[in-house]
Amino acid sequence: MNTWIKAFATVSILALGGSAMAIKPNKLLSRGQTAYTSSGENHYITDGDLTNWKQCTAKDIAINVGHGPSRLFISWESYGDCAWATDFTKGCGHTGTSLRNFKILTSSNSTNGQDGDWILATEVKDNPVMSRGVYIDFDGMSWFRFVSEENVGQILEIEAFDASNNGDDTWFFMGTSISQMGLKQQDTDSTTANIIHGRFPDFTPAMLRGGIGCINSTEVVAHLDDYLRYAGNVKYWAIEMGTNDAWGGGDWNLETYKRNMQTIIDAAKAHGIEPILARIIATNESKAGWQVNPKFLQA
């Protein structure tokens, strides 16, 4: 189980005053449900497991979560090289095909994900990121369905949460390669959401991975409108940033880093998002040849 995931989960709880009771839960409805797709039944994308080989490439995916909720928060995770976006940094290249253009339909009377009456709940256009969530009206409905007419890439997970009572247990993990690879999952790993659920069974967080290898705070600020557009509808931003700003061990970039972080924090708060900052982690000086300047840790 990944140490970084454990650490960030603990930090997130402590940063909220030591109690998860400050958060209003949103029940996860889709876990374990069969996904009926144009390629047959699929159980991978609702199993809570982000293991890279468990994926779906179907252009039509329907899931029955039952009657009851009047509103859903639906999230999805796509697989590339585990970076949230492929073109936000010039420091290194990233690859991946996002779930770019598709419709989400809902039905109250389908029996198999294809028959019955379907209405348009929302349409996602020109989405460039690999992990995202949207809210839809679901009053009187029992099924939701993703429909696309183009390549959908490799979908790792689709999750639906009951948002009827305005639950706010929704998280975006902004970060560098530390978050990109730390929140990447292999067969033996868990996820932050599953760790939290294990400690607090009444809570099933919606978790969006947002790490991008090589990105620094200046590049985040340059793309801040994109972060807000594609991840601005969650309650919490768990932010891991600074290693690339502090690269090499000097402090020449310290003031820029401090200004950038304040800009990110202010933008989040202005949009009703609660920012939670992870402390910059140390480098292994014997292997990297440098150590994070202490001034960055004091910033």
What pLDDT shows up at residue 14?
47
Separation between Cα atoms, residue 140 and residue 234, nearest integer Å: 24
Task: Assign 184 a pLDDT band (cuts: 50, 70, 90).
Answer: low
> Is position 87 within any domain?
no
Indicate whether 185 pLDDT > 80.
no
* Domain end marker among 121, 139, 164: 164
Q: Are residues 144 and 182 in the same domain?
A: no
Condensed to tens digits (0 to 9), the pLDDT of residues 86-98 reads 889 988 888 889 9
- The mean pLDDT value for 257-268 works out to 98
Q: Are residues 177 and 284 in the same domain?
A: yes
Which CATH number covers residue 241? 3.40.50.1110
E strand segments, 87-163:
102-107, 119-124, 131-137, 143-147, 155-162
The structural domain count of the chain equals 2
Task: Assign 21 a pLDDT band (cuts: 50, 70, 90).
Answer: low
- The mean pLDDT value for 172-183 works out to 88
What pLDDT shows up at residue 132?
98
Residue 248 structural domain: 1-26+165-299
Indicate whether 8 pLDDT > 60.
no
> Is position 89 within any domain?
no
Phi (first) and psi of residue 194, to 5 degrees: -70, -35
Indicate whether 76 pLDDT > 50.
yes
> Is position 107 within any domain?
yes
Read off the DSSP letter of residue 68.
Answer: -
Output the CA–CA distances (angstroms, integers) from residue 46 to 20, 35, 55, 103, in the order listed: 25, 7, 10, 19
Q: Are residues 115 and 193 in the same domain?
A: no
Separation between Cα atoms, residue 293 and residue 122, nearest integer Å: 47
Indicate whether 1 pLDDT > 50.
no
Indicate whether 250 pLDDT > 60.
yes
* Domain end marker among 137, 164, 191: 164
> Is position 90 within any domain?
no
Separation between Cα atoms, residue 172 and residue 231, nearest integer Å: 7
Task: Assign 297 a pLDDT band (cuts: 50, 70, 90).
Answer: confident
Q: Are residues 129 and 216 in the same domain?
A: no
| Two structure tokens written together for 110 | 């389908």
Condensed to tens digits (0 to 9), the pLDDT of residues 121-174 reads 999 999 999 999 999 999 999 999 999 999 999 999 999 999 999 999 999 999
Task: Assign 180 a pLDDT band (cuts: 50, 70, 90).
Answer: confident
Output the CA–CA distances (angstroms, integers) from residue 101 to 9, 104, 124, 228, in the order listed: 32, 10, 6, 19
Highest mean predicted confidence (pLDDT) among 29-43, 68-82, 270-284: 29-43
What pLDDT shows up at residue 52?
79
